[in-house]
Amino acid sequence: MKKNKMNGASVMRGVELSDEYVDLYRKSHTYNMDYKIDYMEYLIINNIFDRPFTALITGCGTAGYVRLLSNAKKITAIDLSQKMIDTAREINKDKNLNLELIKDDARVFPLHTKERYDFIEVGMLGAYLAFDINLIQKYFEMLEPGGIIN
């Protein structure tokens, strides 16, 4: 079995991120928040992208966590449910985000878009990706150089 090797700097940065997570997690239990946020994802995204970036969120639901993508110059969020898209539009209307909400099927979206993204969140689509090598390839083709799929 092949082991992944991490250099010392990567390990130290991981420890720093974990320490920051603990402090933010503690605050989340101290202060009243309008909804829970996954701080680990927030820290990872904001530490990977130290510049404005583009993001695609598949199966976005109500897109409640797009506010975590504060560095994003554009966010495209797709969902199969029009009700989810409408709710996402309402929840995020007062946020200062360049957010495009699209009712679409994430399994076919890559077939009819020419957009490329720095960050792609596949979420629950991951269950489909595991069984469809062509779909995996399409999502990788949508990445900008140096981009990541989560």
- Predicted local confidence at residue 115, as pLDDT: 95
Q: How far is 78 from 84, CA to CA, in rounded Å?
A: 9
Under 8 Å between Cβ of 5 and 23:
no
Q: Which domains does the chain have, with CATH numbers?
A: 8-149 (3.40.50.150)
pLDDT, tens digit, 9 for 90 and up, residues 74-132: 999 998 888 889 888 988 888 888 999 999 988 899 999 999 999 998 877 777 677 78
Task: Check whether 63 has a pLDDT greater than 80.
Answer: yes
Which pair of structure tokens corresponds to residue 59? 């199966």
Q: How far is 23 from 36, CA to CA, in rounded Å?
A: 15
Q: How far is Cα of residue 130 from the mean position of the Cα atoms in its chain?
A: 18
- Predicted local confidence at residue 14, as pLDDT: 45
What pTM was estimated for this model as a whole? 0.70
Under 8 Å between Cβ of 99 and 121:
no
